[in-house]
Structure 1
Amino acid sequence: MKGYLFLTLAIVSEIFGTSMLKASEVFTKFWPSTAFIVGFSAAFYSLSIAMQYIPLNIAYAIWSGVGTALTAVISIFIWKETVSIQAVIGIACIIVGVVVLNLGKTTTH
């Protein structure tokens, strides 16, 4: 359970960092650029702790898959970006992949 708490924190931090990367406008804005660094530092730190409890392949698949899917959703609602049917299919494939990978998971602790 502790591993998934840190994995959730890693996902939230990564999504925050990615949004701040967009807001930084190619690192021309100081505060969003700083927030990006803080967000990704927290994401990688939290992910490293999560991997003490969750196998690497499971932790990374969940982190990258959920992060990608939620970032796509945020890009639509916050940044007003458009979405294509190919993007929706791709996100669905990522989610299915994470679910399938988790079906046979084992824990290290």
Structure 2
Amino acid sequence: MNGHLALAIAICMEVIATSALASIQGLTKPLPLLAVIIGYVSSFYMLAIVVKTIPIGIAYAIWSGMGIVLVTLVSVVIYRQKPDMAAIVGMGMIVAGVVTIQLFSSMKPH
């Protein structure tokens, strides 16, 4: 499997799992809890595949950075949470960092 495709899947699964955390209500809701468990397990499984072809530092930076931004977008749409200006600026810097890594890093996997 292509490392970038595996990374995209890992990010999506992590976003699903993290977004579902808001719905488990102290572990009393089994369906969202199942989404959390399946999401995190599959995300880490895919991340383990990713690090075969993408250096772990770069993979983790992209995985966590994009996860932060996407979870925030989900929270805006689903939970009606509104990020303030500091959050927006900070996430803009995260995206800029991910873009910089993608465009300019020449780090190779071990």
Report TM bin, short chain.
over 0.9
Q: Find the counterpart in structure 2 of residue 4 from structure 1.
A: 4
CA distance in 1: counterparts of 2:16 and 2:106, whole angstroms: 28
Q: RMSD of the alignment, in Å?
A: 1.5
Q: Find the counterpart in structure 2 of residue 105 from structure 1.
A: 106
CA distance in 1: counterparts of 2:52 and 2:77, whole angstroms: 34
CA distance in 2: counterparts of 1:85 and 1:100, whole angstroms: 22
CA distance in 2: counterparts of 1:107 and 1:17, whole angstroms: 29
Structure 1 stretches of 4+ with a deviation exceeding 4 A read none
For normalisation by structure 2, the TM-score amounts to 0.92
Matched letter for residue 90 of structure 2: G
Q: Find the counterpart in structure 1 of residue 21 from structure 2.
A: 21
CA distance in 2: counterparts of 1:52 and 1:66, whole angstroms: 20
Given that 1:10 and 1:44 are in contact with CA atoms closer than 8 Å, whether structure 2 keeps it comes out as: yes
Deviation of 1:107 after TM superposition, in Å, equals 3.7
1:72-103 per-residue CA deviation (whole Å, 9 max, x = no partner) reads 11100111111100110010011111122231
Given that 2:15 and 2:71 are in contact with CA atoms closer than 8 Å, whether structure 1 keeps it comes out as: yes
Name the count of aligned residue pairs: 109
CA distance in 2: counterparts of 1:74 and 1:2, whole angstroms: 26
CA distance in 1: counterparts of 2:26 and 2:76, whole angstroms: 20
Q: Find the counterpart in structure 2 of residue 46 from structure 1.
A: 46
Runs of 5+ unmatched residues, structure 2: none
CA distance in 2: counterparts of 1:7 and 1:90, whole angstroms: 23
Q: Find the counterpart in structure 2 of residue 94 from structure 1.
A: 94
Q: Find the counterpart in structure 1 of residue 60 from structure 2.
A: 60
Identical positions, percent: 38
For normalisation by structure 1, the TM-score amounts to 0.93
Deviation of 1:65 after TM superposition, in Å, equals 0.4
Deviation of 1:26 after TM superposition, in Å, equals 2.5
Deviation of 1:30 after TM superposition, in Å, equals 1.0
Runs of 5+ unmatched residues, structure 1: none
Matched letter for residue 78 of structure 1: I
CA distance in 1: counterparts of 2:69 and 2:32, whole angstroms: 22
